[in-house]
Structure 1
Amino acid sequence: MATSLGSTARTGEKCPASGVWEVVGTPSTTAPIAQGNIMPPYRNAAVTWKLKSYA
């Protein structure tokens, strides 16, 4: 099943879809993350990432 825009993944999980991901909350950032990579922390903290667009 395809991962839909707006789907979320937590730091440490495998990225479910290649695309541009945005940190949920403030401060926020975006990052291109490839499917299968491990979702990174942001500012040395575990965060929730939301899929903004497909790569």
Structure 2
Amino acid sequence: MTAPLGTTAKTGSSCPESGVWVVVGTPSTTAPIAKGNTMPPYAGRAVTWKLRSYA
């Protein structure tokens, strides 16, 4: 089952869906992350990522 766009995942959790993810808040960035990979930190801190588009 595909996770819907807008799904969120926190740093350290398992990525629920392959795609382009964006950091919620500022500073922000986007990153391609594959399903099953660990969601990374950004700018040295734990963040919430939101699924923007599918890979």
Return the TM-score normalized by structure 1: 0.97
- Return structure 1 stretches of 4+ with deviation > 3 angstroms: none
Structure 1 segment 19-34 matched on structure 2, within 5 A: 19-34=19-34
- Equivalents in 2 of 1:3, 1:47: separation in Å? 19
Paired residues, number: 55
Unaligned runs of 5+ in 1: none
**Structure 2: stretches of 5+ with no match in the other structure:** none
**Share of identical aligned residues, percent?**
73
Tell me what 1:45 maps to. 45
RMSD, matched Cα: 0.6
Q: Which residue of 1 aligns with 2:6?
A: 6
Supply the distance in 2 between the matched residues of 1:2 and 1:39 (Cα, whole angstroms).
Answer: 17
